[in-house]
């Protein structure tokens, strides 16, 4: 059975877990270990991950603060979340502030 956008939204809103990604990173300035938290929400027909900046420099950068993918009826919510997580980790790899922790 094919999902509709409304089905995907309903499934997302019924998740009982905290809707976020926690990604372990190392700070490029001092190699300190940190966790970036991306809060996940639905805005219109998009699945969105937003990261609260940890520093003033990061606050003015747009490299990893906001990632978004359009909901597509051809894919499950799990597949959408996996794609959004990949977008977040890719953004961290190109960040001026962090590297992914092994």
Note the pLDDT tens digit of each residue in 46-96: 999 998 777 777 776 666 678 999 999 999 999 999 999 999 999 899 888
Judge whether 99 and 25 are in contact, CB under 8 Å.
yes
Query: What pLDDT score does 101 carry?
Result: 86
Residue 71, CA distances (Å) to 16, 25, 75 in order: 20, 28, 8
CB atoms within 10 A of CB 84: 20
Whole-model pTM: value is 0.88
Percentage of residues in the chain having pLDDT higher than 90: 65
Q: Which residues does residue 48 pair with via DSSP β-bridges, in sequence order? A: 41, 68
């Amino acid at each position: 059975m094919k999902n509709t956008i409304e089905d995907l939204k309903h499934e997302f809103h019924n998740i009982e877990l905290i809707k976020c990604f926690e990604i372990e990173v190392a700070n490029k300035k001092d190699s300190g270990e940190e966790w970036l938290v991306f809060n996940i929400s639905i805005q219109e027909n998009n699945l969105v991950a937003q990261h609260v900046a940890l520093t003033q420099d990061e606050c003015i950068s747009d490299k990893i603060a906001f990632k978004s993918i359009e909901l597509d009826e051809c894919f499950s919510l799990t597949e959408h979340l996996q794609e959004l997580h990949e977008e977040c980790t890719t953004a961290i790899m190109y960040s001026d502030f962090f590297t992914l922790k092994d």
